[in-house]
């Protein structure tokens, strides 16, 4: 399973990368705005700064919702760095754009996916990644993890190359369950990844080891 961090904060990206487990980054206009990044030039410069930190897979989202606009933006984003994956919304023109980018050799991440049917369309069009939003589905009393299971099963049935990227991952158990279900990638906040480090028995065991060492050393 690949770990992506869902943020535009450079310090958080560096921290996750330094941990040695980071495989990529996902961003969106809301995350850029949260960091005070606005204007095309500044946004693209920020994407380049992210690419300079990580090894690959930086999802950069188009703003346009029409085919021509998405193609223009996507090409410009792809020029920033070969690590860029163009993030495209699950709408009709988005599916057309994904097919276009696929034929041009530009990787894509189909975002805002909330059904197995949408995931099938994205895979048929040639998306590199499909992003089902499990947390947002949970918010409306639908089991987001069930959707991950459905998509993984369907993709396995037909050998689709599209990777299942579980998005809107809210906590560490979400991540663990996605791993159990066979998601190829999870994208989540830094706290979800670092949350995997924590266990009370690890803390108490380490404290005991250190106390025993101190005692044996006569401290």
Active site residues: 87
Helix, coil or strand: residue 103? helix
**Cα-based distances in Å from 63 to 59, 166, 194:** 13, 21, 31
Q: Are 13 and 50 in contact (CB under 8 A)?
A: yes
Q: Give the span between the Cα atoms of 1 and 196, in whole angstroms.
A: 14
Q: Give the span between the Cα atoms of 174 and 188, in whole angstroms.
A: 10
191 Rama sector, left if φ>0, alpha if ψ -120 to 50, beta otherwise: alpha
Q: Give the span between the Cα atoms of 57 and 24, in whole angstroms.
A: 5
Locate 75 and state its tokens.
């090409």
φ/ψ of 85, rounded to 5, equals -115, 125
Q: At what angle do helices 92-103 and 116-125 cross, to 10 degrees?
A: 30
């Amino acid at each position: 399973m690949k770990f992506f961090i869902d943020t535009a904060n450079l310090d958080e990206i560096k921290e996750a990368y330094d941990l040695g487990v980071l495989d990529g980054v996902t961003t969106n206009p809301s995350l850029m705005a949260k960091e005070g990044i606005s204007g095309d030039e500044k946004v693209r410069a920020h994407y380049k700064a992210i690419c300079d930190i990580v090894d690959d897979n930086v999802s950069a989202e188009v703003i346009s919702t029409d085919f021509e606009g998405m193609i223009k933006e996507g090409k410009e984003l792809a020029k920033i760095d070969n690590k860029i994956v163009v993030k495209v919304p699950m709408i009709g023109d988005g599916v057309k754009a994904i097919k276009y980018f696929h034929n041009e050799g530009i990787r894509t991440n189909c975002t805002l996916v909330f059904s197995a049917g949408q995931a099938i369309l994205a895979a048929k069009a040639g998306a590199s990644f499909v992003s089902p939003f499990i947390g947002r589905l949970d918010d409306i009393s639908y089991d987001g993890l069930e959707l991950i299971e459905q998509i993984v099963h369907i993709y396995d049935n037909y050998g689709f190359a599209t990777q299942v990227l579980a998005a809107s991952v809210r906590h560490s158990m979400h991540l663990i369950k996605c791993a159990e279900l066979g998601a190829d990638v999870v994208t989540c906040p830094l706290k979800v990844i670092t949350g995997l480090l924590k266990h009370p028995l690890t803390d108490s065991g380490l404290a005991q080891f250190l106390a025993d060492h101190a005692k044996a050393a006569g401290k």
